[in-house]
Each structure stands twice: as C-alpha cells, then as structure tokens.
Amino acid sequence: MSSTVGAADRLRAAIRDIPDFPKPGIIFKDITPILGDPTLFSAAIELFVERYRPQRIRKVAAMESRGFIFGAPLAAGIGAGFVPLRKHGKLPHTTLAESFTLEYGAETLEIHTDAIHPGERVLVIDDLLATGGTAAAAVKLVEKTGGEVIEIAFLVELAFLRGRERLGDIPTFAIVRFD
C-alpha cells in the first residue's frame, strides 16, 4: 500500500498546470512529464495492472487518443484484448456510435460492432476524467455491444468538475485526484 501511495504521489507531483489552455480560464493538467519519464510512466501502468490483474477482465476499452497510451499496455499487462474507441469515421469496419458533449464542444465516439462479445467483462480507461461526457459515451458503447463494464479508470480525475456523477453507479477509479 505504501508503495502505491508513494507512486501516486510521485505521479501527482509530475503533473503540471498550464493556465489558459486550451482557452482562457481553463487550467490544463498536463501529463506529458509522466509520459516522458520511463520510471513514472511504468509506475502508472503498474498501478493499473496491479489493480486489474485479478479481476478477470477480457477487454480494455480506451478512448482516443490519450486513453490509448494507458489502455494498450494495461491490456497487455493483464492478458486482455484492447478495444480502441475512436472518433467518428476513424474505424474501418461496421461501427456503433455515441455522441456526447465535452467542455469545449460536441463529439462522437465509435466502436466496432464485433469488438466486444456479449457478457465480456470490460474495463474502460482514459487519461483524465473531467465532466464525464467521454466516459459516459464509452460506457454506452460497451453496453451496446453487450459487454459488462466492470469499472472506469483514469490517471487523473478533476473531482471539482463532478464528472463521476455523470457515470452513475459504475465503479470509478483514478490514481490522482484533484479536488
């Protein structure tokens, strides 16, 4: 436990604030220092792997694009398949779609219709939870395929934006939380 807390503290300390990005009044939480440091990046992936390895997860569904950074190595680390949730028009096969609103506009996510089989245990992951729009859309897509969302995971949660509330009763986990 203490090593987990220590790793989470090191990750939190590496996240830098960028004021007025992408627009005035927003303080952007920049995770690129974590991504650029192999020790920190490995620590983040290992925290996720330790949490999810025993949970019999069959698929890890990650949102474009920064969710891919964490989702793919996590899936490999726990022996699960990886499912990319992409922006509209980016997947080459038959898809299901879900539209949602973001802090800065509207977007649509898509999933291949055969990416998840009915009853499969699925972890949804992204880099950051803000208002919850992207994560809620991802959950809906997984459910449309018949998958069972076990939990939604994030590297960072901006708790003051109350995105967790938009996700209902689905368990939600974040390594670093800003209140």
List pLDDT tens digits, range 37-79. 999 999 999 999 999 999 999 999 999 999 999 999 999 999 9
CA–CA distance, 168 with 148 (Å, rounded to integer):
14
Q: How far is CA 130 from the centre of its chain?
A: 11
| Contact present, 67 and 83 (Cβ < 8 Å) | no
* Confidence grade of residue 149 (pLDDT, cut at 50, 70, 90): very high
- Contact in structure between 45 and 74 (CB atoms under 8 Å): yes
3-class secondary structure per residue, 43-71:
HHHHHHHHHHHHHCCCEEEEECCHHHHHH
CB 116 within 8 A of CB 61: yes
Per-residue pLDDT at 103: 63
pTM: 0.94
Instruction: Name the architecture of domain 2-178.
Output: 3-Layer(aba) Sandwich (3.40)
pLDDT band at 2 (very low <50, low <70, confident <90, very high): very low
Q: Is 66 a catalytic residue?
A: yes
Tokens of 172: 């939600």
Q: How far apart are CA 10 and CA 153, in angstroms?
A: 18
The pLDDT score that the predictor gives to residue 115 is 98
Q: Is the model's pLDDT at 127 over the cut of 80?
A: yes
- Specify the pLDDT at position 172: 98
Of the residues 10, 66, 121, 166, only one is catalytic, namely 66
Select which of 16, 56, 103, 162 is catalytic: 103
- Tell me if 8 sits within 8 A of 175, measured CB to CB: yes
User: Could you state, in order of their start, the residue ranges of all structural domains in the chain?
Assistant: 2-178
* Residue 132 predicted with pLDDT over 70: yes
Residue 126 contacts residue 69 (beta carbons within 8 Å): no
> What Å distances lie between residue 34 and 10, 16, 37, 69, 101, CA to CA?
9, 10, 5, 11, 27
pLDDT of 104 strictly over 70:
no
